């Protein structure tokens, strides 16, 4: 099962995951990071900034989870722009080594295959950061997504478009389609970190960690992965049946074990 770490705040979660990323880069200077967008990963990126000062990150590589289809990559809410602003620039990464799926309509028919090939050519993703949507999606794999899916075009459900409307002028401006790493792509990463904060995520977290493995709650795919660390605040953990056990296990974790 996933290891569940319940922390007091999103800042604590950011520090925990950032420390792990720093360890990874120290061991492997050309590490391949799986990068998430949205609000959830921001504490990780914020915590990485001071930790990476003076560290050579020139060879670090990265792959974003998803992108909107048909959006101008220069649009401030394209995930290319978001990753540039939140990750590449503040952390001083090489923009040529950080990839997002290509949502350009002219090449969309093969953009998924192209992205899969690029990930494979990089040797796969070492550490994948994940948020979870209120629908239970990871990446933009909405309910019903195949556990075997690879990067492809999906239609966003209305709930996700409403959730993301805060980044746009109105819900009508949120693109209808996206290109996202599939659940199979995500499950191929070597270590998954799923983060969630706040009461609004509590049901999705409980379903993903403790519910049945079902494509109706795509986040439950993490139960099929051998190395998952779920990092949640108290509110997001509030519906976990075995929360006391997770706290006990983490408090008594052997020091040699690491995350």
**Which residues form the interface with ligand PGA (CB under 6 A)?**
38-40, 131-133, 137
Smallest distance from ligand PGA to CB 195, Å: 8
Smallest distance from ligand PGA to CB 229, Å: 17
Q: How far apart are CA 95 and CA 62, in angstroms?
A: 9
Query: Please, which residue, 84 or 135, has the CB nearer to ligand PGA?
Result: 135
How far is CA 38 from each of CA 67, 120, 124, rounded to the nearest angstrom?
Answer: 11, 25, 23
Query: Please, which residue, 40 or 102, has the CB nearer to ligand PGA?
Result: 40
Among 143, 130, 141, CA closest to 211? 143
Q: How far apart are CA 226 and CA 223, in angstroms?
A: 8
Smallest distance from ligand PGA to CB 218, Å: 10
Smallest distance from ligand PGA to CB 2, Å: 16
Please state the length of the chain: 259
Query: Please, which residue, 97 or 163, has the CB nearer to ligand PGA?
Result: 163
Q: How far apart are CA 1 and CA 133, in angstroms?
A: 21
Q: How far apart are CA 237 and CA 242, in angstroms?
A: 10
* Burial group, residue 112, by CB count within 10 angstroms (0-12, 13-18, 19+): buried
Q: Select the residue whose beta carbon is closest to ligand PGA and give its number.
A: 38
Smallest distance from ligand PGA to CB 25, Å: 23
Q: How far apart are CA 157 and CA 169, in angstroms?
A: 18
Query: Please, which residue, 25 or 136, has the CB nearer to ligand PGA?
Result: 136
Query: Please, which residue, 57 or 81, has the CB nearer to ligand PGA?
Result: 81
Smallest distance from ligand PGA to CB 168, Å: 13
**Is 134 within 8 Å of 200 (Cβ atoms)?**
yes
Query: Please, which residue, 166 or 255, has the CB nearer to ligand PGA?
Result: 166
């Amino acid at each position: 099962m996933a290891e569940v770490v319940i922390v007091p705040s999103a800042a604590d979660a950011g520090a925990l995951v950032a420390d792990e990323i720093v360890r990874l880069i120290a061991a492997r200077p050309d590490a391949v990071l799986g990068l998430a967008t949205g609000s959830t990963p921001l504490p990780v990126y914020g915590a990485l900034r001071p930790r990476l000062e003076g560290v050579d990150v020139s060879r670090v590589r990265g792959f974003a989870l998803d992108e909107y289809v048909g959006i101008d990559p220069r649009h401030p809410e394209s995930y290319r722009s978001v990753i540039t602003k939140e990750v590449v620039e503040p952390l001083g990464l090489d923009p040529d080594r950080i990839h997002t799926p290509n949502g350009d309509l002219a090449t969309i028919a093969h953009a998924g295959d192209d992205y899969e090939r690029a990930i494979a050519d990089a040797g796969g993703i070492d550490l994948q950061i994940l948020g979870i949507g209120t629908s239970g999606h990871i990446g933009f794999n909405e309910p019903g997504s195949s556990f075997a899916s690879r990067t492809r075009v999906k239609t966003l459900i209305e709930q996700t478009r409403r959730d993301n409307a805060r980044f746009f002028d109105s819900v009508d401006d949120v693109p209808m389609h996206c290109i996202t790493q599939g659940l199979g792509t995500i499950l191929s990463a070597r270590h998954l970190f799923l983060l969630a904060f706040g009461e609004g995520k509590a049901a999705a977290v409980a379903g993903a960690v403790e519910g049945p493995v079902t494509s109706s709650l795509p986040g439950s795919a993490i139960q099929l992965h051998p190395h998952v660390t779920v990092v949640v605040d108290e509110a997001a953990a509030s519906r976990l049946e075995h929360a006391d056990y997770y706290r006990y296990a983490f408090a008594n974790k052997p020091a040699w074990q690491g995350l």
